[in-house]
């Protein structure tokens, strides 16, 4: 008999893994009807969260290293929350490592991790190179990568297909005859921007056009603000796509200073939605990325890899997103 | 001879602990002139970061548990960054625990921590009660608390005196004859709000007045937004003090909808400054709290407590703040 997992409960109750985790942990933030639905699913499937957790706990202290980028985006915090909630259920300790910039530091972190004999490594880092992953795989430590799809069947990956997201969104605009589309990027997230660039380029290519509105802005907010202030004096696009909320706000503010009306004269969309997008004026449209679930599912894949729970583990898991249209788009 | 610490280097070079830590770690984000200044201080004092780090590393694997609230405010991320940067220098592992709501969960976390035999515990949690700290002190685990001043000489604490901050700010306004001052609070951070409330109340009392403009708003942004939308239909204050950026933005947006001009009709200030305050229109005035340094110094105090580096350790460290006046105040 296949062991019932928290995953099956989430599917049965038609809620997120995060929600099941919260119900099991007795969190008060879950709505009563949702809580009932989850508990019915737990009873129906005969899921035993405590039994499994205790069973695992008997084996050994299981410690998972989590590597996250140092910059504190809201997004990273949610990933950590999801990951730790699932780690709690399975009684795993999470040792946190932060990576700033540069390969040297990353190698130091990897060395520390290997020396400290962790049982597994979860990595959320846009700048991680294939070489660095090779260092880890050589030591046969189970690895799950968050954010990037890995084409390596020894590595787990939990991700959102940003390339497809942007492809679909761009195609929708191209089909409406809107072709002056620009992508703002600050080189802070090269792997992510590559996905976005690929998605837009593919959409343009499929429409028989070529994409070339690539606005490269400085890294910090202040400099990028001054750059865009100057840029919008002589430029205007039908649609501007930004990656993060701060970039979208810089576009909004500098456009306003140059009397470009949003969304009448120019539409703006932010890929990584955040609560701040709804606080901006006009409110910024964005894509709700399941950040909490990225962390929760990554940790769940890790527990499966460590315990060979199923004969074949699905190591590559794609999560979906929801578009939230607000006032910055028509 | 007193051992030279990273603390002395920071003092000598007149930079933050964080900056010294970055220079030692070879981070590229430090300005060249600052880097030179720090290296001169290191040479002058004869500070040996590697020697100390290696010395400590020989002893045993030192693991520090860090407890942070689950909610991902930007602020928490910066505290984690500072703490981990200093932990790296001294080769400590950081095991991260998150606390959502409720005492039951907190006790679970404390039990897990004690079972896992950590060497010390750093706690950043506004809701932690004295009872819970007693559980930890009973087990003789060194503890450093971030954010709250602890009147217990077995516990380290690194904090900002918010009560004094608000007292000084309120007094400045009262002296100008501005007495219609309101404090917005959402009950998410009771200990913090208590400090703010105490500071304002003291300022009013010292001016021979009593403070009673306490605007209690709902917990989530959407409900608090609707609440304030209604509130400002019939209310207006000379100065509104909010704790977090999202609350300040809700005040800004709902005031605008009710034709209350900021700052002409009503001034707004945010205690916990964030990058988003500078992105709002009008830009919101706030207090720069040394979040990164709170984490870095807390970890430094922890290493001192673990190794009795000095005869008398200063376990209570107050950090300062800087007021950033922007467009939401006159």
User: What tens digit of pLDDT does each residue of A176-205 get?
Assistant: 999 999 999 877 777 788 899 999 999 999
| Statement: residue B262 has pLDDT above 50 | yes
Compute the CA torsion angle B283, B286, B292, B296 (nearest 10 deg).
Answer: 170
Q: Rounded mean pLDDT of chain B? A: 84
Query: Where residue A53 falls among pLDDT bands split at 50, 70, 90?
Result: very low
Q: What's the CA angle centered on A11, arms A5 and A16, to 5 degrees?
A: 95
Q: Using 50, 70 and 90 to split pLDDT, how confident is the model at A104? A: low
* Domain locations along chain A: 6-49, 63-160+291-319, 162-288
H/E run at residue A285: strand A285-288
Alpha carbons within 13 angstroms on the beta-carbon side of residue A300 total: 27
Structural fold of domain B63-160+291-319: Rossmann fold (3.40.50)
Residue A102 reports pLDDT greater than 60? no
Report, as an integer, the average pLDDT of A292-298. 92
The answer to whether residue B151 scores a pLDDT higher than 80 is no
Average pLDDT rounded to a whole number, residues B83-96: 87
The reported pLDDT for the residue numbered A56 is 41
- Gap between the Cα atoms of A299 and A302, Å rounded: 5
Q: What is the largest CA-CA distance in chain A?
A: 67
Mean pLDDT computed over B8-13: 86
What does the pLDDT read at residue A90?
Answer: 83
Task: Look at the block and give the residue holding tokens 């300022």.
Answer: B203
Range scoring the smallest mean pLDDT among A18-27, A248-257, B146-155, B270-279: A18-27
- Residue B106, classified by CB atoms within 10 Å of its CB into exposed (0-12), middle (13-18) or buried (19+), is buried
Model confidence band, residue B163 (pLDDT cutoffs 50, 70, 90): very high
CB atoms within 10 A of CB A319: 15
In chain A, the percentage of residues whose pLDDT exceeds 70 is 85
Q: Which CATH architecture has domain A162-288?
A: 3-Layer(aba) Sandwich (3.40)
Contact of A295 with A87, CB cutoff 8 Å:
no
A100 chain-B contacts, CB cut-off 8 A: 25, 27, 29
The Cα–Cα gap between A81 and A76 comes to: 9
Residue A232 pLDDT exceeds 90: yes
Tell me whether the CATH fold assigned to A6-49 matches the one assigned to A63-160+291-319: no
pLDDT at B213 over 90: no
* CB within 8 Å: A96 and B100: no
Q: How confident is the model at residue A51 (pLDDT cuts 50, 70, 90)?
A: very low
Three-state DSSP at A18 gives helix
pLDDT in tens, B226-236: 999 999 999 99
Q: Does B39 touch chain A (CB under 8 A)?
A: no
pLDDT band at B312 (very low <50, low <70, confident <90, very high): low
Burial of A59 (0-12, 13-18, 19+ CB in 10 A): exposed
Burial (CB < 10 A; 0-12, 13-18, 19+), residue B268, is buried
A146 contacts A69 by C-beta, under 8 angstroms: no
| Average pLDDT of the segment spanning B278-292 | 94
Average pLDDT over residues B197-205: 96
Q: What is the 3-state secondary structure (H, E, C) of A84-125?
A: HHHHHHCCEEEEEEEECCCHHHHHHHHHHHHHCCCCEEEECC
What pLDDT does residue B186 have? Answer: 78
Structure tokens at A128: 């991680």
Least-confidence region, from A72-81, B24-33, B165-174: B24-33
Say yes or no for a CB contact (<8 Å) between A77 and B78.
no
A 9-38 residues with CB < 8 A to B: 25-29
What is the DSSP-derived secondary structure letter of residue A271? E
Q: Which residues contact A299 (CB under 8 A, 6 or more apart)?
A: A64, A82, A83, A84, A86, A87, A90, A92, A122, A144
Residue A264 half-sphere exposure toward CB, CA atoms < 13 A: 4
- Average pLDDT of span B12-35: 79
Which pLDDT belongs to residue B197? 93
Specify the pLDDT at position B58: 40
**What is the SS3 assignment for B318?**
strand
Q: Does B48 touch chain A (CB under 8 A)?
A: no
pLDDT for residue A154? 76
- Distance separating the N- and C-terminal Cα atoms of chain A: 52
Q: Which positions in chain B touch A70 (Cβ < 8 Å)?
A: 81
At B57 the pLDDT is 39
ipTM of model over 0.95 = no
Q: What is the pLDDT of residue A69?
A: 82
Q: Which of A33-42, B46-55, B139-148, B170-179 has the highest mean pLDDT?
A: B170-179
- Please state, in angstroms and rounded to a whole number, the distance separating the CA atoms of residues B255 and A30: 32
Q: How far apart are CA B202 and CA B189, in angstroms?
A: 20
Residue range B6-49 forms a domain whose CATH class is mainly alpha
Stronger pLDDT, B92 or B285, i.e. the higher one: B285
Pairwise CA distance, residues B215 & B41, whole Å: 49
B69 within 8 A of B126, measured Cβ to Cβ: yes
| Alpha carbon of B90: minimum distance to chain A alpha carbons (Å) | 12
Stated pTM of the model? 0.77
| Mean pLDDT score across all residues of chain A | 84
B37 touches B15 (CB < 8 A): yes
Q: Compare all CA atoms of chain A with the CA of B68 and give the residue at the minimum distance.
A: A81
Using an 8 Å CB-CB cutoff, list chain A residues near B76. Answer: 72, 77
Query: Are A27 and B74 an interchain contact pair (Cβ–Cβ within 8 Å)?
Result: no
The pLDDT score that the predictor gives to residue B24 is 75
- Mean pLDDT, to the nearest integer, of A131-146? 77
Interface test with chain A among B66, B254, B279, B327, by most A beta carbons within 10 Å: B279
Q: Give the pLDDT confidence score for residue A212 in this predicted structure.
A: 87
Query: Under 8 Å CB-to-CB from A291, ≥6 apart: which residues?
Result: A75, A78, A79, A82
Residue A76: pLDDT over 60: yes
What pLDDT score does B257 carry? 96
Residues of chain A with pLDDT > 90, as a percent, come to 42
Is the CB of residue A94 less than 8 Å away from at least one CB of chain B? yes
Question: Strands, E, within B73-173: which ranges?
Answer: 92-99, 120-123, 143-146, 155-160
């Amino acid at each position: 008999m296949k062991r019932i997992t928290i995953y099956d409960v989430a599917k049965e109750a038609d809620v997120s893994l995060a929600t099941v985790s919260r119900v099991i942990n007795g969190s008060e933030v879950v709505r009563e009807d949702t809580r009932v639905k989850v508990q019915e699913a737990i009873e129906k499937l005969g899921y035993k969260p405590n039994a499994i957790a205790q069973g695992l706990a008997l084996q050994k202290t299981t410690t998972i290293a989590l590597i996250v980028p140092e910059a504190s985006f809201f997004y990273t915090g949610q990933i950590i929350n999801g990951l730790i909630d699932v780690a709690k259920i399975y009684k795993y300790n999470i040792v946190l490592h932060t990576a700033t910039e540069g390969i040297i530091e990353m190698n130091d972190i990897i060395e520390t991790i290997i020396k400290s004999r962790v049982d597994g490594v979860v990595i959320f880092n846009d700048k991680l190179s294939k070489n660095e992953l090779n260092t880890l795989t050589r030591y046969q430590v189970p690895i799950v990568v968050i954010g990037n799809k890995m084409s390596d069947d020894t590595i787990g990956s939990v991700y959102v297909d940003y390339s497809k997201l942007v492809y679909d969104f761009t195609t929708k605009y191209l089909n409406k005859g809107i072709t002056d589309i620009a992508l703002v990027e600050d080189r802070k997230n090269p792997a992510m921007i590559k996905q976005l660039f690929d998605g837009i380029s593919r959409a343009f290519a499929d429409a028989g056009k070529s994409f070339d509105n690539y606005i490269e802005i400085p890294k910090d907010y202040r400099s990028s603000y001054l750059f865009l202030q100057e840029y919008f004096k002589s430029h205007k696009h039908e649609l501007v796509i930004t990656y993060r909320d701060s970039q979208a706000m810089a576009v909004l503010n500098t456009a306003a200073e140059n009397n470009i009306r949003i969304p009448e004269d120019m539409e703006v969309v932010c890929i990584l939605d955040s609560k701040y997008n709804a606080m901006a004026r006009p409110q910024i449209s964005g894509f709700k990325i399941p950040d909490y679930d990225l962390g929760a599912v990554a940790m769940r894949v890790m527990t499966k890899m460590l315990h060979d729970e199923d004969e074949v583990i699905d190591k590559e898991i794609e999560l979906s997103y929801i578009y939230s249209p607000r006032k910055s788009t028509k």
